[in-house]
Amino acid sequence: MAEHTAVATGAPSVSAEQIRDLLARTPKGLLINGTWRDASDGGTFDVENPATGEVLATLASATPEDAQAAMDAAAEVQESWARTAPRERAEILRRAFDLVQERRDDLALLMTLEMGKPLAEANGEVTYGGEFLRWFSEEAVRHYGRTASTPEGNLQMVVRHKPVGPCYLITPWNFPLAMATRKVSPAVAAGCTMVLKSAKLTPLTSQYFAQIMIDAGLPAGVLNVVSSKSASAVSKPIMTDPRLRKVSFTGSTPVGKQLMKDAADSVLRTSMELGGNGPLLVFDDADLDKAVTGAVAAKMRNMGEACTAANRILVHESVAEEFMEKFATTLAGLTVGDGTLEDTKVGPLVDSNALESVTAFVDDALAKGARVVTGGHRVGDKGYFYAPTVLADVPEDARVSCEEIFGPVAPVITFKDEDDAVRIANTTEYGLASYVFTEDYKRAYRVADRIEFGLMGLNVGVISNAAAPFGGVKQSGVGREGGAEGIEEYSTVQYIGVESP
Ligand code: NAD
């Protein structure tokens, strides 16, 4: 076992003064009907920096009454908002895109501070997240319906899109900006109003982004933001309000299932972006250097805290040793540290629960016969750092093989042939992201036909793009975000039969 010794020692990229100034400028209240306000009972909650364990900021914590007020505001302006010209909605999104570029340093730093990801990755998220605003500003004015004669020729059929109506948008902590823009942008483009609830670990980025939407000209009440220490306190009044038309959720599968049950009571439209257990397949004909680069990106992006993370690295037995050596050497060289330091490549896990959870995953694998090739331990005793880890000889029944790890731990599992690889890849209730490394395009398509995943990277480790439909099958969810499909999720179809001329 190789101890992980690559620890960041570089200079901070930002000063304490810059951080204080940014936090002072970030809204701390609830955004209801265009105004930032305190919680109705004066309640608050703290947001922590996972690199230090210290409190960064204290925010208003929405009560059920506040959630109801946010829902009231969204319902009140739905009709007038639906009547705005698509061009007007498009231009608000485009201005918001421009403001995100102008304020990119603030957004990136907020994400690093509250979530832990290194500044370079946070900047990458600003680019990715910002693109949803630009993409849906372009989609807003090209969301065509259709018209045709009935087969009998007795009617003209006019098929048009209308906004679904007020939406409840719930986002997770791992991509604080992109998960918000991926929902807010198509909702705005389609003409929906909304209540946004971000995760309590990372609300600051959403608060800052909401102010950008106001500065871009979004009318009061269209976007309301209710951060809270209690998700259920906020969700109950919104989910049971008869004026709500849709819930769009990104988060864990158990919470998604519960929301689908709650949504059934009022037959709400639902979009569910849930957990993953992504396989990354390396065939014997793969370019191994490309496979290592792809595996490092797919495993280590966001410290492994991504629904698209390569959870299981499946390698043909004939190339396993060579792959593992190169992969483990690369991971062992990644510097771990505070995301604001210049040379950090891997930041902390999001909180103490995440650190405990990753530690328990590794302990379970070791108890079932796995071996640590590199890492396998916490780094330092302040903050929640865990070493990039490669595990070999991992049995299929270890928890790292079956469950979403959400950390920088890569179990390497060998396979014998294509059938075996596909069988192992599909042995999971999840079906979000998968990655295949092979130089044989016929094999690539055969595998794509057989693996049950909504996304597949072919010889690449990162594929998310605002222009592409993102989403899973099986228990990874229903619906798609981004692409031409994204706006459909916030639209309903109306058919008008018109008397033939
Ligand atoms: P989580 O399910 O704990 O929380 C997600 C959000 O749901 C948070 O805002 C949380 O406050 C809220 N929530 C929790 N309980 C709720 C309830 N009873 N009613 C309403 N809202 C409730 O998930 P998380 O830990 O924040 O995020 C990690 C999970 O998200 C992972 O499983 C990951 O795979 C998944 N994820 C999926 C995607 C995707 O696009 N498929 C993207 C990112 C993350």
Q: What is the mean pLDDT of residues 443-451?
A: 98
DSSP-derived letter for residue 499 is E
Q: Say how far apart CA 400 and CA 361 lie, in whole Å.
A: 6
**Region(s) of the chain under CATH 3.40.309.10:** 278-465
The yes-or-no verdict on residue 298 having pLDDT over 80 is yes
The pLDDT of residue 33 is above 80: yes
Mutate to test the pocket of ligand 1, among 168, 174, 481 (most ligand atoms within 8 A of CB): 174
Round to whole Å and give the CA distance between 434 and 426: 10
What local confidence, expressed as pLDDT, does residue 2 receive? 66
Q: DSSP per residue over 363-411, as a string?
A: HHHHHTT-EEEE--SEESSSS-EE--EEEES--TTSHHHHS---SSEEE
pLDDT band for 255, please (50, 70, 90 cuts): very high
pLDDT at position 1 is 54
* Predicted local distance difference test score (pLDDT) of residue 368: 97
Q: For 138-166, what is the mean pLDDT?
A: 97
End-to-end CA distance of the chain: 80
Tokens of 346: 């891997």
What is the spatial distance between Cα 464 and Cα 454, in angstroms, rounded to a whole number? Answer: 12
Which of the residues are catalytic? 273, 307
> If you average pLDDT over residues 436-442, what whole number do you get?
98
Strand, coil or helix: 288 = helix
User: What average pLDDT is seen over the chain?
Assistant: 97
CA separation, residue 281 to residues 399, 413, 418 (Å): 19, 10, 10
* Residues 371-376, mean pLDDT to the nearest whole number: 97
User: How many degrees, rounded to 5, is the angle at CA 271 between CA 448 and CA 113?
Assistant: 90
What are the pLDDT digits (tens) for 73-96? 999 999 999 999 999 999 999 999
Per residue in 45-60, pLDDT (tens digit) is: 999 999 999 999 999 9
Q: What is the number of the ligand 1 atom nearest to the C-alpha of 198?
A: 9
Domain with CATH 3.40.605.10 in the chain: 16-274+479-492
Which residue is closest in CA terms to ligand 1's atom 40? 273
Per-residue confidence band for 4, with pLDDT thresholds at 50, 70 and 90: confident
What is the predicted pLDDT for the residue at 501?
Answer: 82
For residue 155, how far is its CA from the centre of ligand 1 (angstroms)? 47
User: Domain spanning 278-465: which CATH class is it, in words?
Assistant: alpha beta
Give residues (CB < 6 A) around ligand 1.
170-175, 179, 197-200, 231-232, 235, 250-252, 255, 258-259, 273-276, 307, 404, 432, 472, 477
How are strands ordered across the β-sheet holding 491-499?
146-149, 155-163, 491-499
CA angle (277, 362, 317) in 5-degree steps: 65
26-32: average pLDDT = 98
Q: Cα torsion at 30, 102, 192, 493 (round to 10°)?
A: -160
Closest CA to 235 of 271, 262, 254, 257: 262
Region for 459 from its dihedrals, namely left if φ exceeds 0, alpha if ψ lies in -120 to 50, beta otherwise: left
Q: What predicted TM-score, i.e. pTM, was given to this entire model?
A: 0.97
The proportion of the chain whose per-residue pLDDT surpasses 90, expressed as a percent, equals 98
pLDDT reported for residue 342: 94
Distance from residue 172's CA to the centre of ligand 1 (Å): 4
Q: Express each pLDDT in 379-409 by its tens digit.
A: 999 999 999 999 999 998 999 999 999 999 9
Q: Which residue type, as a one-letter code, is found at position 272?
A: M
Topology adopted by domain 16-274+479-492: Aldehyde Dehydrogenase; Chain A, domain 1 (3.40.605)
**Residue 5 has what pLDDT?**
79
**Phi then psi for 171, rounded to 5 degrees?**
-120, 155
Cα 482 to the center of its chain, rounded Å: 12
